[in-house]
Copies of this chain bind each other. A is one copy, B any other.
Amino acid sequence: MNAANILGAAQLESRRGRSDPYLAFRQELFDEGLLVPTGVDGLYLRAERFEEIVRGLDVLVSLAGRAEASATYHFPLVMSRALLDRTDYVRSFPDLLGTVQSFAGDDRAHAELLRTVEEGGEWVAHLEPTDIALCSAACHPLYPSQSGPLPFGGRTVEVYGQCFRHEPSVDPARMQAFRQHEFVYLGTPEGARRHRDLWVERALSLHRSLGLEVEAVVANDPFFGRSGRMLAANQRDEALKIEIVSPICSSESPTAITSANCHEDHFGLEFDIVADDGAVAHTACVGFGVERVTLALLHTHGLRKESWPPSVRNVLGL
């Protein structure tokens, strides 16, 4: 079953065309009212019919891992700006980060701000930095709260996080604000590797139970610039990052919908997290890209849940 039953011939033709598969699928999502454009590429209002799928998926992901999790936390899209520095994000991904500025002036400064607004000038020049940044990765806000010794066997925490990446794109799967449903492990190097490998298998099964065509591939993060190329090569050589990819806009270039990563002692060192053997903790996480899995389902089964296979609707409670 696929989108064919609800698409007109012209829409299907445009979707099959290789010229712009991203624009074509995005337009279908707009036409169907699942996403509403905001005038900024990569920022959308989401319809209730989109969120229904998200809620079903969240329940499924939780069930798959909650038994091991000692706590479950929900994070906002903003965090302390200091974390961008402490996690090395400003070094590795400066082009994706977001920091927040606001106005801190008096009545007179306000009058100047308004003059610039009236003149159509760049009024943000009147603003000042705050100590807040957009959240760079769902698990980053967790680490400061994990400082100190871990219990025997380590700790697993479930995280409903929100992330920002400044990468305006017409690809509907490349949103600037999106959610990650994660399970983060903190403990020994072996525990971290086990958590990661276990979740690659679990995530493959979970996605296949939803009728998705998936594959696990070694991947790298989009480290910035010349120095970043070495970091990316190292990450691949060590197979630290495994992505689960599935077709969303294109079968030739499937999209990462879930990612499972070993961070080695990167966060353990910076945040003084100590494993049960007294060594610096290693960490690992699996992150389900909630919007991307939802889009993969819509691509695979069609834009209306009424046409989805009953088994998939059933497992998602739709």
Contacts and interface: CB of A to CB of B under 8 A. Distances in A.
A71 interface: yes
Interface in A144-163: 144-145, 158, 160, 162
Contact of A144 (B33, B39, B127, B132): B39
A3 interface: no
Interface in A122-151: 122-124, 127, 129-132, 134, 141-142, 144-145
B166 A102 contact: yes
A82 interface: yes
A176 B43 contact: no
Instruction: Give the interface SS of chain A, mostly helix, strand, loop or mixed.
Output: mixed
A158 B46 CA distance: 12
A284 to B, nearest CB: 20
A101 interface: yes
Contacts of A78: 43, 77, 134, 164, 176-177
A48 interface: yes
Contacts of A122: 129
Most buried by B among A47, A110, A131, A227: A110
A75 B145 CA distance: 28
B90 A45 contact: no
B40 A80 contact: yes
Given A90-B113, A110-B224, A74 B48 contact: yes
A269 to B, nearest CB: 17
Interface stretch (A91-99, A185-193, A260-268): A91-99
A132 B177 CA distance: 11
Contact of A99 (B46, B124, B225): B124
A60 interface: no
Nearest to A50: B74
Contact of A47 (B73, B77, B176): B73
A36 B73 contact: yes
A85 interface: yes
Contact of A45 (B33, B82, B103, B142): B142
Given A91-B114, A98-B101, A100-B100, A79 B43 contact: yes
A183 B107 CA distance: 34
B103 A226 contact: no
A217 interface: no
Contact of A107 (B44, B51, B226): B226
Most buried by B among A40, A95, A130: A40
Given A33-B71, A98-B132, 4 more contacts: A43-B79, A45-B74, A85-B123, A130-B166
Interface of A: 33, 36-40, 43-48, 50-51, 71-82, 85, 90-91, 94-107, 110, 113-114, 117, 122-124, 127, 129-132, 134, 141-142, 144-145, 158, 160, 162, 164, 166, 176-177, 224-227
